[in-house]
Amino acid sequence: MRYLCSSLHILASQLPLSLVQQRAALCPEQPAPELSGHGTMSFTYPSSNVTRVTINNGPVNFVDRLFADDLLDFLIPLQNVTEDTPKVVIFDSSNPNFWLGHIDMRTLATPITNEKKQLGADYMKFTQLLQNITSTVFIAEIDGRAFGAGNEIAAQMDMRFVGPRARTGSFEEALGLIAGGGGQTYMGAVLGKAKAMEYLLAAKSFTGPAGEALGLYNKYYDDSQVLKDSVLELAQRIALFPRVALNQTKSVLSFLNPPNNAFQLDFEAFYDIEQGPEQQANVRKFIELSEDQAANHYELGLGESVMALYGLWDGSVA
């Protein structure tokens, strides 16, 4: 059943988009997707060479211990390439408002423990796997908010396509923290130093058109279904080609990635300042305003709502 529609999907990747949509109606992705161990992700298979990973973890799609475990469980086996290893993986979300959210802010309000450091180490591990697994191409299909860790992880994927609900950015500076999970290093690589500093230091958010113009997004689509169809069409096209060529291209282009020691220093710096009194006060205020990270008006307003810490948010939600 998993690959029953493979030949139709491969053929459809060579057809006009309207015919791709007709194919989708006749042969949809399997109705009962596989679930990750903790249920934070589900998996469907448009073809034998393309996997769609759908994120579903709490009201704002937390990046927490459960998500980290599930993502590692998915990524680690991809290092050992077999005939079943996908050439392309698309990450989307079942939550219409959030693609992938920030870390669970409650963890920042606790002392630094070995358990907390282990989550940090695992975070570094799965973000590096996104780069080091060169036999698979990772695509972020974003049609919701991705702030903090969500934005950082998206920046470390190979491509990013966004829809009308997309809004991304790093709000950590407003709390007195930094985008220490690769956000600073990768945003600098993608945007260049000056633009990265503008958006990181001012905790500014990216809209779809602005992010496309800056090169953060490959393309912005003003229609959610067109986004989904177009990303699948691209994935199917890429998946037609021999893996050795895809692997070589991704391997060669990896020279553009920031050096690993910069990533490590960035992450260690986050822990160095996290427990400061101003930072802790801002974290507690964030948890209060978000009603313990519910999908409320404050969370929907990120990243402008973070300015409420300074009495400067007008309450608008993009």
Tell me the pLDDT tens digit for each residue of 188-199: 999 999 999 999
CATH topology of domain 6-275: 2-enoyl-CoA Hydratase; Chain A, domain 1 (3.90.226)
| pTM of the shown model | 0.90
Query: What pLDDT shows up at residue 314?
Result: 96
If you average pLDDT over every residue of the chain, what do you get?
90
Task: Show me where the domains of the chain are located.
Answer: 6-275
Least confident segment among 18-27, 43-52, 163-172: 18-27
Tell me what percent of the residues of the chain surpass a pLDDT of 90.
78
Q: Which pLDDT band holds residue 318 (cuts at 50, 70, 90)?
A: confident
Query: What pLDDT shows up at residue 261?
Result: 82
Q: Which pLDDT band holds residue 265 (cuts at 50, 70, 90)?
A: confident
Tell me what percent of the residues of the chain surpass a pLDDT of 70.
90
Q: Which pLDDT band holds residue 30 (cuts at 50, 70, 90)?
A: low
Query: What pLDDT shows up at residue 31?
Result: 54
Q: Does 268 score more than 80 pLDDT?
A: yes
Least confident segment among 28-42, 90-104, 174-188, 263-277: 28-42
Q: Does 259 score more than 90 pLDDT?
A: no
State the Cα–Cα distance between residues 184 and 262, nearest whole angstrom: 10
Q: Does 152 score more than 60 pLDDT?
A: yes
